[in-house]
Amino acid sequence: MKFVRYKSRIEAGILLFEFIKNENKRLYDFINENKGNCFCFAIPNGGVPVTEGFCSQNNLNYDILIVRKIKIPNNTEAGFGSVTTDGTILINEKLLSRLNLSEKAVNNSIELTKTEIRERLKFYNKEFVLEKFYTHHIQRRHIFILDDGLASGFTMLAAINMIKKYNPEKIYIAIPTAPLRTVNNIKTEVNDIFCPNVRDVLWFAVADAYKNWYDVPESEVLEIINNSKFYITETVIEDSLV
């Protein structure tokens, strides 16, 4: 069947849940019957509207999981690793070995990235005890991580590493589009990966799967989470950790 490009990220999220129904009916039924044992994480910015659409179909709750690349000095468009919301670090060792960076330069880049993470947490009003929050929402639960697509998959691997620290029951990845090579790399790290548009191509772009592609601004992320019935608000967080 020919793939029809998504009209929007919201639609992509809605279709992702339908895709799970077609691919794994047992999991689909489990989600619907055990909502309290499931939780979702959106990788911003593009993953937030996808997750909102996904959760609108099953009434699951979600949070954002911030992942920032560790920028290469003098080449800030590229990175040699990633840092996640709780400070989990994943280094691309093969790339780092070719960069000839000093230990000080590496550490400075990591600390700069951690500062960026803290600034993002403040922006989203998430200045609370993260470890308790993650233990509460992840431990022994079925976790779904969503984004608007994968390219190299390194960001997603960093997110997976973080989630594993908190002992989930299972981890699932749900993404609208990805290259086959990345799907193959990711699937060995999780219980399952759901992707309606897997492309076996040399040159891949997430944007090709969408009719109207644009970089999601933070203003749109805030609008979605501030009006969401599914996003975990600060009040809910405080209540859940009492």
Task: Give me the DSSP letters along 127-167.
Answer: -S-HHHHHHHHHTTSEEEEE-S--SS-HHHHHHHHHHHTT-
Predicted pLDDT at 77: 67
pLDDT at residue number 88: 87
Q: Do you find a cis peptide bond into 61, omega within 30 degrees of 0?
A: no
Where along the chain do the CATH 3.30.1310 domains lie?
68-123
| CA 237 – CA 42 distance, rounded (Å) | 17
Question: Which of 191, 144, 145, 136 is CA-nearest to residue 31?
Answer: 144
Number of other CB atoms surrounding residue 156 within 10 Å? 27
Structure tokens at 143: 């976790």
Go through the chain and tell me how many residues it has: 242
pTM score: 0.91
Rounded CA-CA distance 49/118 in Å is: 22
pLDDT value for 235: 47
Stretch(es) of the chain classified as CATH 3.40.50.2020: 9-65+127-240
pLDDT of res. 148 = 97
Rounded to whole angstroms, what are the CA distances from 78 to 21, 28, 82, 233? 37, 38, 11, 33
Query: Which residues on neighbouring strands pair with residue 192, listed in sequence order?
Result: 172
Q: Does domain 9-65+127-240 have CATH number 2.40.10.120?
A: no
Query: What is the spatial distance between Cα 127 and Cα 121, in angstroms, rounded to a whole number?
Result: 6
Q: Which of 72, 64, 154 is nearest to 113 (CA)?
A: 72
Helix (H, G, I), strand (E, B) or coil at 46: coil
CA distance 181 to 144: 21
What stretch of H or E contains 55? helix 47-56
**Please, how many CA atoms are within 13 Å of residue 148, restricted to the half-sphere of its CB?**
26
* Residues in the chain where the model's pLDDT stays below 70: 1, 76-77, 128, 234-242
pLDDT digits (tens, 9 = 90+) for 28-84: 999 999 999 999 999 999 999 999 999 999 999 999 999 988 888 877 667 888 999
Class of domain 68-123: alpha beta
* Chain centre distance of CA 152: 14
